[in-house]
Structure 1
Amino acid sequence: MAESFIFSIAESLITKLASLAYQEASRVVGVYDDLQELKSSLSYVKAVLLDAEQKQEQNNELREWLKQIKLIFYDAENVLDQVDCETLRKQVIRDYGTPKDKVGRFFSSSNPLVFRYKLALQIKDIRMRLDRVAADRDKFGLQVIDFDRRVVHSREMTYSHVVQSDVIGRDYDKEKIIKLLMEPSLDNNVGSKHISVIPIVGIGGLGKTTLAKLVFNDERIIDSFPLKMWVCVSEDFNIKQLIIKIINAASNFVSTGALPGHQNLKELEVEQLQYRLRNMLVGQKFILVLDDVWNEDRVKWVEMRDLISVGAKGSKVIVTTRSQSIASMMGTVTYSHHLESLSPGDSLHLFVRWAFKEGEEEKYPELIRIAREIVEKCKGVPLAVRTLGSSLFSKHERQEWESLRDKEIWNLPQKEDDIIPALKLSYDEMPSHLRQCFALLSLYPKNLEYNSFEVASLWGAAGLLPLQSQDKTMVDVAHQYLRDLMARSFLHDVFDCGTFYAFFIHDLVHDLAVYVAKDVCQLVSSNTQDISENVLHLSFVENGLPYNSIKPSLQGARSILFPVDHVGASEAFLNAWVTNCRYLRYLDLRDSTCETLPESIGKLKHLRYISLCNNKRIKRLPNSICKLQNLQVLGLDGCSNLETVPKKLRKLISLQRLEITTKQSILPESDIAKLNCLEFLCVQNCDNLESLFVETRLPTLRTLQVSDCVNLKSLPLDTHHFPQLETLLISGVANEDWLHRSEDTNAVLRLKTIVLSEMLTLPHSLQQYASTLQTLMILGCYELEVLPEWLSNLSSLKFLIMASCPKLMSLPSDIHRLTSLLVLRIINCRELYGKYEPQVGKCWPMISHIKHTDIRKPWE
């Protein structure tokens, strides 16, 4: 269904051709007239694309017509991109080239005359192909619609913590489950070994996970179970991975000495992990939630059940699943709790909550009548109700509501647990540019936490974000798109940190993303029989996949991802794919095992993103990587054996984000300072560095992260060196000597966000940002006991987030002075929770006025 965003591709191509900068570039290259003729052909086709997108569902011939246009558009994007590449290359040669470079270029394939001749032929070929296909447009009776009228209406931000008052129609279910949990023993089944298993069964989107969260966070459960663990299982019931997840979930409760980090756990053998798990659970009365179980292999379940059966009598397990057979296999109670659909009344109540502002529905009785008819088609599935309600938020025209109600997609055949048609209606209401961005979320596996920076990089590399302006960067635009998706309830468990988001998407929403992107994006696993032809974006989620050679139809691939931790590309994979996919824009090689990159990496002139993070073997990079003038992101963080970064970094004139780990004692600061688009710089685990940018100015830098550089002694934090700096992330600093207070008041940074991790105390220099600081995050400061009283002087602070600070005793007594504070989050801070627990903590009145509070028990 990738044809559903062809209009957006046409619009971006025409916008590019119409821009003054591109017209000037095309004149310099010598193909201006050719491109203007192509623009006319594009405009002729674009005029009917919106109507064609809407009618293709019921017309196979029309759908095939759109597919032909789509392939031509892809070729057009690649050709137009070449003009940008040539323009950037000319700029680099002009600014940094030697006479030898200029003479050599005349005799190479990039000779201007040869380049212009080849490019003109390619443009002519595309225009002729497009004109041939466009000639058929009239036979489909398509209407001319030049403007995409679908808009996104914003609503107030939602937060990840489940608020009981936001859940409708589940009181009976909650009390039923809690009653079962509170009983001392649910049966006398010897095989269960005192571990009672309660399954919650229901179709997708019905709210099984939400119900389990309500139960899990209920005060009665908190008081009755000293040990609480929540584990998302999903489709892979891998015993080793499951043990690691349970250990991580339990580690905040059980003091067993120093626990290894996430990566070290993965390096342990299964027998070692089992021993550690049994030691943590033995004699403990626990509740364990296994959310979203798909495994039907009873042998695996019995093995896992026997491992956790060392817990105290009365321990309980809650299982959420769509399958009754799984519930029967795992459950030990006499019946499974079948979650029913919402009643019509509760469904309407939920719909109204998401479609209107509070109390607004009373003004629109006619819309409420239509809402009842829409809700009836949702069959009581909360996810469908909420998503469709969100799609109509702030739309008050009766025709819009009737149009949604009368869409033919409701009548498509559905499986019993399929609500894709209902969700697809909300997708169809999205503006075309937002559809493309949503579709690319299918490249990440289910239940993976998304990070807005990574998503922004992917969208930017794919060309889905407008070029940055003085007012907005591409990251700013990406965050707006994410807020638009939130407004439509397509994201959930959103963690808003002020400057970035972490979030999940529901399984069925993920299914929808896969459905609409199926001709463009593909997730590749051991179950994949074949990779679709002409797919543009590929995501590899397992190691050792037998894709060491590629078909010609895949050589147009634009994105290659390895999104799962500890899954990365091999040298054979690189040699097969990287050397053949010359149109790659996004190359994610994190956790790869290659010892070097091929010199041919420099030929990938369209590349916008490359990451080698956490490659422990690579020592050097080819200097040809600096030929990638389109590159926006270069990730070298976690490359612990990298001896030196590439020479001539200054040639990466489009670079916006640079992340470095290196053994060098001195970074090539003069090169980095010439990166005039650089906005984000991360320097981490550089053990040999003693100073950073003492005499260097980074005029465009907005975000600076310095982590675990143990010998760093100086870093000037002032406007002379970082005039645009807004976000500072500091981690693992042994002392704060180099975080000194600026002597020149006119040179004080105007920081908006500070993230501190692994600090013993808060630096006094924070006081100088009192008038500008909006977000303060204090993470993993395990020895921090007291917050300074001057924290209350941060008059502009909106977000205050503290996580994993177990010894922190209290907030400042005059926290009420933070009148701008909108969000307070306290997560995994044992001492603070006891005092500031919502409604009952003795210090709760001190913070109860804050609009959004998220105060969680340490183990959540």
Structure 2
Amino acid sequence: MTDWVDLGLGSIGGALVSEALKLVIEEAKKYKSFKPLSKDLVSTMERLLPLTKKIDSMQNELDLGSGELKQLRETIEKARVLVLKFPSVRFYEKSNYTRKIVEINEDLAKFCDIDLQLLQYRNQLTLLGVAGNLVDKVDGLSKRMDGLMSVPVPVFRDLCSVPKLDKVVVGLDWPLMELKKRLLDDAVVNLVVSAPPGCGKTTLATQLCHDADVIGHFKHIFFNVVSSTPNFRVIVQNLLQHNGYAPHTFENDSQATVGLRKLLEELREDGPILLVLDDVWRGAESLLQKFRINLPDYKILVTSRFDFPSFGYNYRLKPLENEDAKALLIQWASRPHNTSQAEYEDLLQKILKRCNGFPIVIEVVGVSLKGRSLNTWKGQVESWSQGETILDSPSQPTVLECLQPSFIALEPNLKECFLDMGSFLEDQKIRASVIIDIWMELYGKNSSILCMKYLEDLASQNLLKLVPLGNETEDGFYNEFLVTQHDILRELAIRQSELEAILERKRLNLEIKEDTFPDWCLNAPRNTVVNASLLTISTDDLFSSNWVEIEFPKVEALVLNLSSPDYALPSFIAGMTKLKVLTITNHGFYPARLRNFSCLSLLPNLKRIRLEKVSVTLLDIPRLQLASLKKLSLVMCSFGEVFYDSEEIDVSKALPSLQEIDIDYCYDLYELPYWVSEVVSLKTLSITNCNKLTVLPEAIGNLSKLEVLRVSSCINLSELPETTDKLSNLRFLDISHCLGLRKLPLKIGKLQKLKKISMRKCWRCELPDSVRELEDLEVKCEEETRLVLWERLMPKMRNLRVHEEETEHNLNLLQMF
């Protein structure tokens, strides 16, 4: 660095101000380690330079002393000393030097903006010979300005205070206890409270901040509402102003980050800090990372409709349990006059069923019924039974205002998926595979993994719930997940779909009670065409299958919900030439007998059929001659007797495209029909939870393209046929929980493409010697099977990997029934 003595200055006490300033500028520009702060300092000094040159010339001409520039000279001297030390600053000293740079920059800016301009004005007046009283007045003005600068500017400080609890909180005692435990855990730094809109996230966070233990632990608690349009700099400005600093505008996020860190370091000297960021929206991950400063005793609590798994521990707030929901409703809605206890209790339960534990819905409904007559209560319940929703009520816009932003925030593809959820029944527990089948065909997706991601994305935004049934998924097999959705969110999806005219809607729900069709069906002109691509038809147990003829030429996915023991498919299905997916679900207690099954015959584009809890003859399937059928799913179906030789059907021509057969919980399936072994195009055969299945056909060896064979939880299956060794393309075999299985095919070692075997609870099964010929094999089992069967083979088999997984008893299985 050029020495000040080389310039003949020694120090800047007697030097020209402009020359001293230029030297500091040149040296400050050389060092990048303190950018952007050093850059700001250079910018301020360059702005000051032309003014100091002018003052220098005036001072010399008038032979004025340098005392009037004493403050500026001292500030530049500080800058000189600081710049000289830049190369030797250690990393742990950087924050201290950063603070000094900011202070010098502020002093120079103040001099540039006020003091220097007053001094310049005085010198100009002196040159004009008007220095007398007027100069004294300017000096007086300068002193008054200095006085004003020293007076503290009033600062509004209540910007980040915790909101007051203005109502009695109901049902959050347990969540509060769990969340407080996590918050006070030293191992937890960041927490996220997530839930659907209107579940009480903000109320829970507010109550937590008012808790005595939390207040006793954290010296500083700040509460900031982030919302869907967050501004990092504004939040930091509010935090600084809340703590007594004058309002300040940051030019960029880097400056705001430095300011935030300085504030936190200063406050941390008093004690631990809790920062609450309320109502954080999807896409704010980068914002959260800016607040994530690595300091001891500093924690962040986030509330959001969305999950942020990478940020910290996620606590999902659930809707209220029935007793808490009831207490909240009673708090908001006083009991109507002249109502018996039994009648009052009945009305409460019907209202609570509709609200389904959502605090905001309970509050809105409760307020609307408070002080109203018994007739109003009954009328409200009756309106819901007639199909009206809470979202439709003009007097209750709050619920819609709360929910609507979650839908608007979705990406376009997820909006479509969310709207499709309104096509399923209220409170329905849906297998994930059902929805995935529809999306794959409706939106042309070739990957079930991608469609499963859509479900996970909606679940992460708390717009539906994914319930695992305990077993892991393999090879795109998603039967082990249930999908549920809160009724209010389903109503939101339906409401969005119903914004269009009935005949123009992309999604249409047709509800038929007894034999009564909606008016638009009965009054529609002849040859009326409906434009829906996703059609749901729901009938009750009194429906007699007396159909009205309607044309649905654009339907690609058809969902039939039935409850009657005897059901005839509508003949108009035969005209759905674009139909790709058909799902028939019986919600009655016993399997329903299906009639008019032949109307599906020859549908040119039908690719996926799913039948649940219906009675069919297995020969009915190949008779349909469905050239495009790719997947057949039979769940809880009854088949009666399986006939083998009753008629000859060329299955290769009848079902030339069939690649996947999924049979689950079919209790009267003793053996597979012969035609399954003749579907030479088959790639996946899945038979699960079929307790009466004892054997697989020897002809299964004909399935040369088969890649996945799953026969899990078939407890009476005693062996696999020896012809299994002909499945040359088999890569995955699942025999888990086949408790009666005693042996595998002797020549299983011939299956060189077999890379995965899942065999939990199969320790009684005998492994043939040829299993050693399998290379790069991955086995999944529990401890007992590993010890009994695979432990001795591990040193003898090339690249054998045995993953031990304990079987968990999952009560979620009970939700299926």
State the structure with bigger RCO (CA 8 A, min sep 6), 1 or 2.
1
TM-score, reference length from structure 2 = 0.43
Structure whose alpha-carbon radius of gyration is higher: 2
TM score, norm. by length of structure 1: 0.41
